[in-house]
Structure 1
């Protein structure tokens, strides 16, 4: 039976550490010590703050705190999270060790997590170790070594095998519509939901009789013998009781923390007041559980800021997209000045630009709004998809909702609009006059060189100012791992029996997320964790052809869904 050792129980005895250590009584267990700042784990009254190193985070769900358990169960390996990393890892584990008992958990009611919304993880060939190291070293250097080259190299060497497992052995298809503006193919159907459904459907087969899937089941704390030995995980049952799952290995594939700004503010240096979250069940559970161990806090969390949005509107609002993600937009900041070429091809760059301002407003005149509704836009790509630029649409319903929206300002004149938005009127009027003159000249933007086809006149009033926010779909990083996907401390000493996979694991991003990293990294982490724990925790053997009958090469045939 696992000891119910948590950071809280450890810290509650911290007042005696000095006496015990002086007497030589503290052995076999590494205290947090002054380097981690034990006092930061305590409230003003000296009470330990559950499971987290940050005293200001209240941790209302008590993640990382081991509670009294109503019962216990035994499994060989537990995978927490059913995104592509957790799902793939659990399946590989079950395939390679038919006698092992494997548990796959998710606190949601459906499988997939943010993979359901991911666009792509196109297959790749493996490269040689020398080629992988060369490319990885360049990637690491470009990021001033915030990205860990060794992880990139490991991923590249495994590309062909992981691609073969996913696309050849398990028949995942790709979506490659002829009109797609994306050069590389996407997941079948356009996002990862079909991939997850395909893999989940295969779990009913005899090959996975040893794999149990439980939904609506939240992992809440690790079971530890000490800060470097994980012996299982505690789960919260639907009836409010807790169960201890004793296991030889636990894989945290729990996703990011974009839905938990109270926690995220202690991980991120970025201004979250400019952001809103569109993720699902991203509460940082894995991060908090990892902090029960000797892992400590990792230095960089990346916000996956991928779009701009008008708060208060639905994710599929065409008015919000027209006001925020349209190349013909005109943004002004708190000083009444433009600050970017709004037609920038990078959605991420525009999102970050919004985050770096005090406030940002998209200015639309009634004439421009009418042109938008008539489909007269050179570029319109956003949360609702692509190729909407030439489609007429009606903004009446959204404009009615805007009447009570604190982020939408309407005035008959630009002077009045400036006053409502709280920006300097003189500067704002001068900015708009220059913009209108450039539109009329037809030669392009004289300030930021925005192309002429994106320069569209505001027309007459009334005028609107739509205040913008940056949309975070998930966060990346947080849990430090080594090249085996093991959770490690700051000196890279591994926590035995504990792994991390997917966007909760650090090493693949800087403070900015670049499209395409999430899925390929998740696939590698989940696969690597499964293969390592089989041979190092479960005493099993991974077959040389664990990925199937053939490794993926550029000549491999992969089915395409062209619907």
Structure 2
């Protein structure tokens, strides 16, 4: 019994997120016969939860009078990566970004507008309905109209090459029946979403303490495409970077993604207020939260971290709004009308991440922190709040908010992560390179499987970079794969 309608395709795309779906649609728009694979029941992967994409010089920015220099963006991002990012890839990405925004609009998606995140540039093009609507209301329907064959519950397990090293096929497998099939194809696009959800790989090729890492994703980024490509001779490249987003509450009774819209989670982990480590000491300027990836790095410098809020601060966030939101889930400045109820419910349920006490001494005991050290830290912090000068780390006076009105709340912070990026070295055409730095003809990588955009830390200073690159690199892969197929046909 065959898993597919046909035994051969011009292109097989592995993964149905922003990168894979864009690759399949672009290839089909250029005349290719495409097979699109999804190993899960549902399509879209972690792209379903994305909020918007990066671009400069788009029609939306022009309408809003927003001016961002593409060359300045390129220079800043390459410097941010300590020159581990590929300037050529950034150049092509930046120059194509406005066209990607327009292409998505042409497929039927709608935008809410353009905004910044934290202290970053206004490059974030927010789409209506999040990524779920982009993929399922626009891209996939368009692809299927053009004859793209979509197979759910089907994964790719091996790439096949000929004696000259060119891609000639791929093995696929039904994840329920374990039935396999070899497909003939001269080109493959790998868009499997990285490896955040592969605990073994995370331990092997990153420095993160995976016990404290909270993956907030579809759960399907298990490195399938990377390992398949490495087995076929592709070069492992620029692994080890996870897109961290600062403090995150870990509820053992609920899926991690359920905390995203929580006002309590945002109040605890995303505000520039007071953090202490397991010794009860401050260890950083907490306004680092305005760059959420830096915040994640800072949290990882300590074995454990707690956020401390008093009732006055909670009341202020309820009546006046928060300092720093969490994307579009809890917007910056939003009045936290559900915050007290969420806190009270967590305390009543005896959640392990939250502590409440009438005094700082009692709070320290409940959190198992040194009582004398925590009281000393908070006394010193409150003095700094009175003078308006952070004597330890120089935090802006706007974020020096005293902790002196009980009851007091402590929150144990873990580190949230959206995805990994990197693993395969690619050209500006998204062709995958082998261990000797040569192109593997017919093999492409897009989205989080492709390296070239980052160093060891994601750059939220240009919000939307990750998913923007997924859409762009998917299109780039699909278009260039079609050109490659056509060249093969001309030579035959």
Normalising by structure 1, report the TM-score: 0.73
Cα distance in 2 for residues equivalent to 1:204 and 1:140: 38
CA positional deviation for 1:512 = 0.7
Counterpart CA distance in 2 for 1:227 and 1:467 is 55
The answer to which structure has the higher helix fraction is: 2
Verify: 1:200 aligned to 2:140, yes or no: yes
| Residue 143 in structure 1 maps to residue 89 in structure 2 | no
Question: What does 1:398-437 correspond to in 2, within 5 Å?
Answer: 398-402=343-347, 403-437=349-383
Native 8 Å contact 1:275 1:469 kept in 2: yes
Distance in 2 between the 1:229 and 1:401 partners?
A: 56
Q: Distance in 2 between matches of 1:125 and 1:451?
A: 32
User: With CA pairs under 8 Å and 6+ residues apart, which has the higher RCO, 1 or 2?
Assistant: 2
Q: CA shift at 1:138, angstroms?
A: 7.0
Q: Between 505-514 and 309-318, report the one with greater CA deviation.
A: 309-318
Cross-structure match for 1:63: none
Contact map agreement 2:322 2:333 (CA 8 A) in 1: no
Residue 390, structure 1, aligned to residue 346, structure 2: no
Structure 2 SS opposite 1:233 = strand
Secondary structure of the residue that 1:176 maps to in structure 2? strand
Structure 1 counterpart of 2:282: 338
Contact kept in structure 2, 1:278 and 1:472, CA below 8 Å: yes
Unaligned runs of 5+ in 1: 1-68, 543-563
Per the TM alignment, residue 377 of structure 1 is displaced from its structure 2 partner at its CA by 4.6
How do 1:196-345 and structure 2 match up within 5 A? 196=135, 197-205=137-145, 208-209=146-147, 211-225=148-162, 228-237=165-174, 238-280=176-218, 281-312=220-251, 314-315=258-259, 316-327=261-272, 329-344=273-288, 345=290
- Which one of the candidate residues 68, 78, 91 is aligned to 2:25? 91
Distance 2:140 2:189 in 1: 18
Question: What's the CA shift string for 1:340-397, capped at 9, x where partnerless?
Answer: 232342222222211222210011334544554x434551412632045434335345
Matches of 2:114 and 2:433, distance apart in 1: 42
Larger radius of gyration, structure 1 or 2? 1
How far is 1:178 from its partner?
A: 9.5
Q: Is the 8 A contact 1:136 1:150 kept in 2?
A: no
Instruction: Report the secondary structure of 1:273's partner residue.
Output: coil
Q: Is the 8 A contact 1:417 1:464 kept in 2?
A: yes
Alpha-carbon spacing, 1:176–1:375, altered in 2? closer, same or farther (3 Å):
same
TM-score of the pair, normalised by structure 2 = 0.83
Secondary structure at the residue paired with 1:220? Answer: strand
Deviation at 1:289, TM superposition (A): 0.9
Output the CA distance in 1 between the equivalents of 2:285 and 2:93: 36
Partner of 1:73: 7
Number of positions where the alignment pairs a residue of Structure 1 with one of Structure 2: 462
- Tell me the equivalent position of 1:66: none
Quickly say closer, same or farther: Cα 1:112–1:396, change in 2 above 3 A. Answer: same
RMSD between aligned residues: 3.3
Tell me which of 347, 357, 361 is aligned to 2:306. Answer: 361
How far apart, CA to CA, are the structure 2 residues paired with 1:263 and 1:540?
Answer: 36
Deviation at 1:277, TM superposition (A): 0.3
After superposition, what is the alpha-carbon deviation per residue over 1:99-136, rounded to whole angstroms, capped at 9, x for unaligned? Answer: x421111223333222222222255459xxxx989975
Task: Output the CA distance in 1 between the equivalents of 2:10 and 2:335.
Answer: 56
Structure 1 residue 118 corresponds to structure 2 residue 50? yes
